[in-house]
Amino acid sequence: MTDAPLTRDDKRAAKRAARFENPWRSPKLAWGAGLLLSVVALGILGRLFWDLEAVFTGANMLKIPPIGFENLRGQSGTFANPLGTDGAGRDMLALLIIGAPNTLFVGLMASLIGMSVGIVLGFTAGFVGGRTDDTIRVLSDVMITIPPLLILVVVQSVFGDVSLTLMALLIAGFVWQSPTRLIRAQVLSMREAGYVQMARLSGASTPHIMFKEMLPNLVPYLFGSFIASVTTSIVTAVGLEVLGLGPQRVPTLGRIIYEAINAGALIQNLWWWWGLPTLLLAVMFIGLLLVNLGLDEVSNPRLRKL
């Protein structure tokens, strides 16, 4: 999957060796980043070149299929709606252009906040130790077993409509535990490392040791943990949306799927309605996975062989 078919074995071997030396050049990372960027590009280019009013006004015919297909009523796709329309006559392309970046935004924002909290707590726990460490450790142990979706279902069913930002904030409350645990464990093992002892002996301040000496070594782990929590956040956000919660007035991929299922799109063979958002989500998740695998190879050289 990762290797392009090359004719010369030695050329291939050289490429592998180069990749082994510099894991940041791995094709997994490149492909993963490419997939994620294509979603971002869809959002940016779409905003520039496509009429997005079609998201709010269902002025088109209902349930029109994408170009080149025919629906059960025998209508075929038109250029006005290249990806078809949904059950309310909204343009699918416009929905995706707005919905996909929204979904990605929630994931990134929630994880950024969660990561920042995780870094602070993880370092504090690992460095300060004692009571503080115990409290943080128990708290993250406890929170890690609570599925975010279920608490958020309670939150959102009580408060009804939420904004994208609020949803991201709510999800962030459930993605700080893994980074906290990871960083704490790393800090504990690093604290005794030679170069940290050295820095301490030469009178460096604690913040200096934390952020100048230790943090750079954690970068690959942090990236990996960040990508993992983006995935968790998006899964949670989509889950809430598919249950009919989450933002009600802004299109998101999960909400499009929710509307499609409720309208019986599966049985009516309106595959583009639920299928296109599903496809975009799949592209995002595969992109995130590939980036994560690539980063794993950066931090664990033993994995670099496939």
Partner 1 sequence: MAGIPASYIKNRLITLVLTILIAATLIWIIPRLSPVDPAEIALGRMAAGAGSVADSDEILAQLRASMGIDQPLAIQYLRYIGNVLVFDFGISTASFPTPVSALIAQALPWTLGLMILSLLITFLIGNALGAFMAWDRTPKLARVAIPAAMVFTSIPPILSGLLLMWIFAAKLRWFPLTGSYGLTVEPGWDWAFISSVISHGTLPALSIVIVTFGFWALGMRGLMITVQGEDYVKLAEAKGLRPRYILYKYMIRNAILPQITAFALKIGLLVAGQVLVERIFAYNGMGKLLYDAILNQDFPVIQGVSFVIILLTALSVFIVDLIYPLIDPRIRHDTGAT
CB of 201 or CB of 267, closer to partner 1:
267
Out of 62, 166, 204, 235, the residue judged to bind partner 1 by CB under 8 A: 235
CB of 111 or CB of 236, closer to partner 1:
236
Out of 43, 77, 107, 148, the residue judged to bind partner 1 by CB under 8 A: 148
Which region, judged by CB under 8 A, interacts with partner 1, from 14-22, 77-85, 214-222, 240-248?
240-248
281 touching partner 1, by CB under 8 A:
yes
303 touching partner 1, by CB under 8 A:
yes
CB of 209 or CB of 227, closer to partner 1:
227
167 touching partner 1, by CB under 8 A:
no
CB of 176 or CB of 274, closer to partner 1:
274
By CB under 8 A, the residues from 85 to 144 that bind partner 1 are 137-138, 141-144
CB of 249 or CB of 302, closer to partner 1:
302
CB of 75 or CB of 299, closer to partner 1:
299
The DSSP string of the chain is --S---S-HHHHHHHHHHHHH-GGG-HHHHHHHHHHHHHHHHHHHHHHHS-GGGGT---S-TTPPPTT-B-TTS-B--TTSTT-B-TTS-BHHHHHHHHHHHHHHHHHHHHHHHHHHHHHHHHHHHHH-HHHHHHHHHHHHHHHTS-HHHHHHHHHHHH----HHHHHHHHHTTSSHHHHHHHHHHHHHHHTSHHHHHHHHTT--HHHIIIIIIHHHHHHHHHHHHHHHHHHHHHHHHHHHHTT-S-SSS--HHHHHHHHHHTTTTTTT-HHHHHHHHHHHHHHHHHHHHHHHHHHHHH-GGGTT-
Q: How far is the CB of 239 from partner 1 (least distance, A)?
A: 5
The binding site for partner 1 (CB under 8 A) comprises 1-2, 137-138, 141-151, 153-155, 157-159, 181, 185, 231-232, 235-236, 238-239, 242-245, 257, 261, 266-267, 269, 271, 274-275, 278, 281-282, 285-286, 288-289, 293, 296, 300, 302-303, 305-306
